[in-house]
């Protein structure tokens, strides 16, 4: 069956450390993968997109990697801050899938302690 | 610009009642989506509309109907609400193109008793 899994439901780290979140998928051929941030009581907000032919993407303190052999994306937040505490969702679009249609993981709740 | 707006923010229904969730966007996007989000289940697509005048089923369409009223508005209707439809509902939009992000509304929290 097709699955997209975010390995940790929750991740607790100390301020200043690097947070690493994992997204794995099986039986999909993603055209691209996206990462979103969701705060309590709010809708998800787009952070980064990485295409199937890209290995790494960066935006400020955020870095995303994409390994189509391992079928895995890693999302890193360097020099983490308490304000980074939120739930992070990965989402992929299948090759040949309807334009814009995404499959979402269940999310990882990140808590950054001062 | 308001982006994506949803009404109402909260709603409590009794089993068997009907209601319509409204979504409007001022981003001039073609595609619109309705998701539900449940604890431990993540976001699941209910219906989507690739353009004005078209709608298609997503992963969990049973018990729902949609109307793409015009380019701006996409409504979700529950004809006979059931407790299993207790959830948070999100509307989202995206522009045309292969790699575009989705923009989400603030959500509607629905409880069916």
- Does A32 contact chain B (CB < 8 Å)? yes
Q: What pLDDT score was predicted for residue A95?
A: 61
Strands B108-112, B10-13: pairing is parallel
DSSP B12-60: EE-TT--EEEEEEE-S--SEEEEEEEETTTEEEEEEEESSTT--EE-S-
Min Cα separation B36/chain A (Å): 11
Nearest beta carbon to residue B48 from set A49, A101, A106:
A101
pLDDT digit string, tens, across residues B3-30: 999 999 999 999 999 999 999 999 999 9
The number of angstroms, rounded, from the C-alpha of B27 to the middle of its chain's C-alpha atoms is 16
Helix (H, G, I), strand (E, B) or coil at B97: coil
Chain B contacts of A49, Cβ < 8 Å? Answer: 99, 101
pLDDT tier, A45 (very low <50, low <70, confident <90, very high otherwise): very high
Round to whole Å and give the CA distance between B11 and B19.
9
Of A42, A11, A28, A52, the closest CA to residue A104 belongs to A28
pLDDT tier, A100 (very low <50, low <70, confident <90, very high otherwise): low
pLDDT digit string, tens, across residues B48-88: 998 898 999 998 999 999 999 899 999 999 999 999 999 99
Q: What pLDDT score was predicted for residue B77?
A: 98
């Amino acid at each position: 069956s097709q699955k997209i899994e975010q390995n940790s439901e929750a991740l607790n780290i100390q301020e200043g450390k690097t947070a690493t979140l994992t997204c794995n998928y099986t039986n999909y051929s993603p055209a691209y993968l996206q990462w979103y941030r969701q705060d309590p009581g709010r809708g998800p907000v787009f952070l980064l997109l990485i295409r199937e032919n890209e290995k790494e993407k960066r935006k400020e303190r955020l870095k995303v990697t994409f390994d189509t052999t391992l079928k895995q994306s890693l999302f890193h937040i360097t020099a983490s801050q308490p304000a980074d505490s939120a739930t992070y969702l990965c989402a992929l679009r299948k090759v040949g899938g309807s334009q814009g249609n995404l499959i979402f993981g269940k999310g990882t709740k990140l808590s950054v302690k001062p | 610009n308001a982006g994506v707006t949803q009404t109402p923010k909260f709603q409590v229904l009794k089993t068997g009642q009907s209601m319509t969730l409204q979504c409007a966007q001022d981003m001039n996007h073609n595609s619109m989506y309705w998701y539900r989000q449940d604890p431990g289940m993540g976001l699941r697509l209910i219906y989507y509309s690739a353009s004005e005048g078209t709608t298609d089923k997503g992963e969990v369409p049973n018990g729902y109907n949609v109307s793409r009223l015009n380019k701006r508005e996409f409504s979700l209707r529950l004809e006979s609400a059931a407790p299993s439809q207790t959830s948070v509902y999100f509307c989202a939009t995206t522009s045309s193109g292969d790699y575009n992000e989705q923009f989400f509304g603030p959500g509607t929290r629905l409880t069916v008793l």
